[in-house]
Amino acid sequence: MDVDTLPAFLQAIGRRQACRWRYRPDIILACAFPARPVLTLRIDGYAHLWDLLRQMLTDRYQEPARYDGFYVGVEAPATLAVFYRPQEEATDIDYREGIMRMLALARLD
C-alpha cells in the first residue's frame, strides 16, 4: 500500500500492513512484515553513493548503540539501502525514532 505522509506510514505499521512512502522523488521508505517489521530506506541514483556508503558505515561503526538493528548496503548498481529491524526482545518500539535515525544515518535529516 502506498501512503503520502509519515503519519499515514506509521499508522499502516501499527496495523501491520506492508506500505511504501515516497519521502522524496528518489527516496522510498518501505515496511515489510516477515516475523517482525523491517523498515527499508532506498536511495536511488545518488551520484556519490560510495562516499555516502563509506560515511554511513563509519557512523554505524562509531556509534554501535545508536544504530543497533540498522544495516547498510547496496541493492543495485545505484541504489543504497538502509534497513532497520528492531531486536527480537524489543517490546516498545518507536518506529518514528527509527525512521529519524535512518534519515540521520543517510544524512537526510
Query: Helix, strand or coil for residue 104?
Result: helix
Which of residues 12 and 49 earns the better pLDDT score?
12
Residues in the chain: 109
- Give the model's confidence band at 89: pLDDT under 50 very low, under 70 low, under 90 confident, else very high: low
Give the C-alpha separation, 46 to 89, whole Å: 35
Q: Is 83 left (phi over 0), alpha (psi -120 to 50) or beta?
A: beta
Mean pLDDT of 30-44: 86
How many domains, in total, are found in the chain?
1
Give the pLDDT score at 92: 66
List the domain range (segments joined by +) for residue 70: 2-105
Cell 562516499 belongs to which residue? Answer: 51
Give the pLDDT score at 45: 77
Give the C-alpha separation, 16 to 19, whole Å: 9
